Structure 1
């Protein structure tokens, strides 16, 4: 699924997966990093992949 530009602009951008994982470790809910197809940096999401 492609990230909408408006969503990308609202989210925190992390330079690497490691930085995003460190931020996710301090969260109250389970979060996972993903590479954004708009800015090519990493964001966090609470959505679970369903395949």
Structure 2
């Protein structure tokens, strides 16, 4: 499924997965970085449905 253009336009863009990860680490909630198929840069999302999340050991 493609990212809607209006969603992409409303989100902050990060040039690398490392930059997005740094911003996600500072957030109060769990965020995940993903590459946007519209702009080619990285955004953050809190959605985890359908994604494999590593369980804490």
TM-score by length of 1: 0.95
Count the aligned residue pairs. 51
1:33 counterpart SS class: strand
CA RMSD of aligned residues (A): 1.1
With the length of structure 2 as denominator, give the TM-score of the two structures.
Answer: 0.85
Q: CA deviation at 1:49?
A: 3.9
Q: Trace 1:1-51 onto structure 2 (pairs within 5 A).
A: 1-50=1-50
Bigger CA radius of gyration: 2
Regions of 4+ moved over 3 Å: none
Tell me, which stretches of 5 or more residues in structure 1 are unaligned? none
Q: Distance in 2 between matches of 1:25 and 1:9?
A: 22
